[in-house]
Amino acid sequence: MKIALIGAGPRGLLLLERLLAWYPHTAVTALDITLYDPFPVGGRVWTTTQSPELLMNTAASQITLFYDQTVNSLGPYSPGPSLAQWARNDAAAWLRHVHAPVAFTAEAAALTANGYASRALYGYYQRWFYAELRRQAPAGVTIQHERTTVTALHPTTTGVTLATPAKTLTVDAAVLALGNATNALTASQRDLVDFAYEHHRLYWPPALPAEGDLSAVTAQDTVILRGLGLSFHDLVARLTSGRGGQFTRDATGQLRYHPSGREPHIVAGSRRGLPAHAKGRNQKAPGEQSQPVFLTPAQLNAWQAQGTVSKATFMAALQHDAAYVYYSLLLAQRYPQVELAAFQQDFTQAPKRAVAALPLQPDEYFDWAALLTAPAAATWPEAATAFLRADIAAAAQGTKTGPLTSALEVLRDLRDAIRQVVLRGLLAPEDREWFLRAFNRDNTFLSIGPPLRRHEELLALITAKVVTILPPKMQVTTADGAFIASSAAPGSPTYRGTALIDARVPATNATTAQNPLIQQLLHAGLATPYTLPNGESSGALATDLHTHQLMGRDGHLQTRLFLWGPPTEGQQWLTNASPRPLVNDISLRQANEIASLLLRDRLPE
């Protein structure tokens, strides 16, 4: 049997591991697996050649590529080290073997379970994983990686014809494990490209933050970053510490920045005007999660029985779960005279009444709306720095003992419950676009932020006047050969920039994706965009949610073509999260489901 895995990043590797695990338990007598990716193993995002300044935003102990006993999908159990365990026990020998720069050996040696690895080190972990799979592959299995692009797939009655720039061949099935694709430029982006070319300026549309040459940017330039998410932090790192600047702690423990003299002035902003809340100091062991009190399996089943649930009801349950954790910790630490068990019982029955009975100070209440905005201040710079200081203090309290940080961790711990709301189609049709737009933005802001250190660094860079954060509602125009950054807020200052970078990765948008394979599948009718109930495209490609087989334009499944990961974002939810050990991780589940269907079950004709 010949299987093509298109994509050699984490998802391609997860599927490779599952195929090897299933193979001895099936009637398949020979298995030929080829991974196709123009990039080395690890894929484009996790290339080992990128700057070690670029960090993951998940603690090393909570990253894995190994299938574990908690996964709720029947399959062979294949234990192995998390990223943190690998760094401690296996990395040194492997990094020497592949002649990695010594900086990565030092990083691995210093990496703690709750530390944050560089993206490049995670790339080395993936390369080691691939080498181990090849070394341990059962007899009868061949594995290879071809550094090329698959440009077309054509199902036949007995297989799939696969085309690359160099050859055409036939396989029994193909699995697309694609990452984020670059999109065609919008009209406004084309105008910016033309403007930059005409005036010898720099403009980058949304792209991966590790890519692109910044060497032409000098200390005399002003760089405008549009976006304050994870890509923003990566680009700031490339332009500051990546250029020789250093951070040190003063006698009070505050981080201070010492410029190298090579940094440009960085002006950044976004619609909200604030960077996402930092990840809290991790205190949780692998597999340790908050359990829902309101967004429970029983509640999901009840909503399913009634047909749908409104966004108001869904959000109330999610907010109550976060508030339950917040108040439980707050009371235990500050109000020991309050009987905690009694409060918790009352809260499960009547949250508002239970909270109203507490002897709290005005600033101690859990305020969801306040978490999404900056604190009140006389000026915007004061509001932005006050937000950062408060967020740093809250995140430093930890994910099990800090009331606010632990509450925000609930959004991460309950991802699978939230995901079920999407997968079961529980939201009322009129609320599904709200979920993909407004809810996603708020969830990202509250729970998918950078490591705590990034906010300390940002505060130090603002203090050193290297970075300026604009008020909310950022807007960018062009005039007199410069990019003009300002805000719609009254009295906002205006900055002239010599470079403009859209600091975000490309959004999932199948119809504009500059991936030749996606476009070929769409044009051939072998794939189709997933349409929201209001008739708009979600950006995703449609698949069968149970088998992960690609849906054709005519509504029929492509039984030998499978798709999972970011191109399904919009039909599914939060598809780009790295696999997490001991939590019944969805990526591990889906990899096992696809491998099982390929090898154990007969492919439907």
pLDDT tens digits for range 390-427 = 999 999 999 999 999 999 999 999 999 999 999 999 99
pLDDT of residue 602: 53
pLDDT of residue 153: 98
pLDDT of residue 604: 47
pLDDT of residue 533: 83
Q: What is the value of pTM for the model shown?
A: 0.96
pLDDT of residue 220: 98
- Asked if 50 and 75 touch (Cβ cutoff 8 Å), the reply is no
Residue 137: name the closest of 21, 10, 14, 25 by CA.
Answer: 21
pLDDT of residue 534: 84
pLDDT of residue 414: 97
Question: For all residues of the chain together, what is the average pLDDT?
Answer: 96
pLDDT of residue 603: 53
pLDDT of residue 119: 97
- Asked if 402 and 290 touch (Cβ cutoff 8 Å), the reply is no
Q: Map residue 111 onto helix, strand or coil.
A: coil
Angle at 159 between CA 157 and CA 162, to 5 degrees: 125
- Calculate helix-pair angle for 440-447, 403-413, nearest 10 degrees: 130
Q: What are 167's two structure tokens? A: 């050859």
Count Cα neighbours of 389 within 13 Å in the Cβ-side half-sphere: 11
pLDDT of residue 244: 97
What is the Cα–Cα distance from 401 to 398, expressed in whole angstroms?
Answer: 5
pLDDT of residue 605: 46
* Domains in the chain, CATH or no CATH each: 2-52+63-77+140-182+507-599 (3.50.50.60), 187-275+451-502 (3.50.50.60), 297-447 (no CATH)
- Residue 373: other Cβ atoms inside 10 A: 14
pLDDT tens digits for range 113-126 = 999 999 999 999 99
pLDDT beneath 70: ranges in the chain: 601-605
